[in-house]
A and B are shown apart, each in its own frame.
Chain A
Amino acid sequence: DIQMTQSPSSLSASVGDRVTITCRASQSISSYLNWYQQKPGKAPKLLIYAASSLQSGVPSRFSGSGSGTDFTLTISSLQPEDFATYYCQQSYSTLSITFGQGTRLEIK
């Protein structure tokens, strides 16, 4: 299996801050990397697909970058509704899809 490791596991930030979350794959996955946002009691929501493509309807303050093994999700200016848990997911190995362990973004 391809292991996905996110850092940090948790993060405290303030409204208006610029935040970056990192995801590292245990082997190269090209750009087959997606990012999801999950709020308590809700299903995950797709934010970014193919490493850097913004899903329709997602605010432009969210952006993704990277390829190979190292990827980042950036929120340019945190809004109150952005406090949630974020997951990366690789789709390179379609026969064994894996997620990162999650990054919990909390209000400072």
Chain B
Amino acid sequence: QVQLQESGPGLVKPSQTLSLTCTVSGGSISSGDYYWSWIRQPPGKGLEWIGYIYYSGSTYYNPSLKSRVTISVDTSKNQFSLKLSSVTAADTAVYYCAREYTNDYGDSEFDYWGQGTLVTVSS
């Protein structure tokens, strides 16, 4: 059974960089069928896709966050990571990592999710 687990600081100061890591167990991050994503949810609000990475290192980011986001992968550790720079209070959210399965027909869906980690931006 695939499991994803987020880790990182729960409190970040304004203007600093938020850094989170997702550790994947029960499956290889190098499998070609999957993209590895970050999604966030501000308290009491809806879901926002941040971006994803393929095991090869190819990345795709939400255009609204692209200038501040970097996602990287470490296949040797079966981990991928998120960095979000110049954070403000608006970046306070639960951050989820998720696996996106894709098939030959172009369908894709988030089939496994981490439990989520709350990151608060405050001085």
The complex places the Cα of A55 from the Cα of B116 at a distance, in Å, of 21
A87 adjacent to chain B (CB < 8 Å): yes
| Chain B 76-117 near chain A by CB (<8 Å), digits 1 or 0 | 000000000000000000001010000001111111011110
Cβ-defined contact, B107 with A32, below 8 A: yes
Instruction: Give how many B residues have a beta carbon under 8 Å from the other chain's beta carbons.
Output: 20
B47 adjacent to chain A (CB < 8 Å): yes
B63 adjacent to chain A (CB < 8 Å): yes
Cβ-defined contact, B46 with A87, below 8 A: yes
Cβ-defined contact, B111 with A46, below 8 A: yes
On whether A101 and B113 interact (CB within 8 A), knowing A43-B96, A95-B60, the answer reads no
On whether A34 and B109 interact (CB within 8 A), knowing A43-B114, A43-B115, A43-B116, the answer reads yes
The complex places the Cα of A104 from the Cα of B108 at a distance, in Å, of 24
Cβ-defined contact, B113 with A43, below 8 A: yes
Cβ-defined contact, A46 with B63, below 8 A: no
Partner of A98, one of B49, B106, B114: B49
Cβ-defined contact, A44 with B113, below 8 A: yes
On whether A91 and B109 interact (CB within 8 A), knowing A1-B63, A43-B114, A43-B115, the answer reads yes
Interface residues on chain A, size class? 20 to 34
Cβ-defined contact, A55 with B110, below 8 A: no
A95 nearest CB across to chain B (Å): 5
Cβ-defined contact, B49 with A99, below 8 A: yes
Cβ-defined contact, A34 with B110, below 8 A: yes
On whether A46 and B109 interact (CB within 8 A), knowing A1-B63, A96-B62, A96-B63, the answer reads yes
Cβ-defined contact, A94 with B108, below 8 A: yes
Q: A32-B107, A46-B109, A98-B49 are in contact. List 20 more A-B contacts (CB 8 A).
A: A36-B110, A42-B115, A43-B98, A43-B113, A43-B115, A44-B96, A46-B110, A46-B111, A49-B111, A89-B47, A89-B110, A91-B107, A91-B108, A91-B109, A94-B60, A96-B49, A99-B46, A99-B47, A99-B49, A102-B46
Q: A interface vs B, CB < 8 Å? A: 1, 31-32, 34, 36, 42-46, 49-50, 55, 87, 89, 91, 94-102
